[in-house]
A and B are shown apart, each in its own frame.
Chain A
Amino acid sequence: DAGVIQSPRHEVTEMGQEVTLRCKPISGHDYLFWYRQTMMRGLELLIYFNNNVPIDDSGMPEDRFSAKMPNASFSTLKIQPSEPRDSAVYFCASSLGGGAYRAFFGQGTRLTVV
């Protein structure tokens, strides 16, 4: 199995631009998580899905952030418009069955907003 695949690995964009991060979970997994990692705030859960349905988006920082999961094989995290404080590493993780601790993480997308 290829594991959780995220793209791109690195993204540099200008403030005000739209950014879309992509994630392909492990085949057969029914939970998908999006995390953000920064030096200041550590690792934070943004949102998670179960069977493609968003279950808890209380970690999404503001309306500029949105996440979708149109099918079991694909999810996106979009930031529009982007701001320098959004610079972070964004991780996607997926798991089979409940329990976030069972999740396998992708390698992350390092986003830099200039």
Chain B
Amino acid sequence: GDSVTQMEGPVTLSEEAFLTINCTYTATGYPSLFWYVQYPGEGLQLLLKATKADDKGSNKGFEATYRKETTSFHLEKGSVQVSDSAVYFCALGAQKLVFGQGTRLTINP
């Protein structure tokens, strides 16, 4: 079945550092891909999405590009802030979503 693999956390960075969280997937066909963010004590929020190969999703300074050849959807941000501390989930699907395990990100001032 479909699956998503994320880099294991936790990830700890200093403010203004460059962020990459790796995500690879296995799926039949060409699913839509998503990144979600979960802040402490809250539910998941959709951060960005891409629906076809080579699409780039972006939001709040975060970006991810749908790479069919490498079956990847890595999340990047050029300069992180303390407020970006959260758990990030990669996911795929449409009517039903399959989530990765999540990566906890901590940004230190």
By a beta-carbon cutoff of 8 Å, the part of chain A in contact with chain B is 4, 42-45, 48, 56, 91, 93, 98-102, 104-108
Contact = CB atoms under 8 A, between A and B. Distances in A.
Given A42-B102, A43-B89, A43-B102, A100 B44 contact: no
A106 B89 CA distance: 16
Nearest to B44: A105
Interface of B: 32, 34, 41-46, 49, 89, 91, 93-97, 99-102
Contacts of B43: 4, 91, 93, 104-108
A102 B93 CA distance: 12
Contacts of A45: 96-97
A102 B97 CA distance: 11
A101 B44 contact: no
Contacts of B91: 101
Contacts of B46: 101-102
B32 A56 contact: no
A18 B58 CA distance: 44
Nearest to B100: A42
Q: Which of B32, B41, B43, B93 has the most CB of A within 10 A?
A: B43
Contacts of B89: 43
Nearest to B46: A101
Contacts of A107: 41-43
**Top 5 A-B pairs, shortest CB-CB distance:** A105-B43, A43-B99, A42-B101, A100-B97, A105-B44
A108 B94 CA distance: 22
B102 A101 contact: no
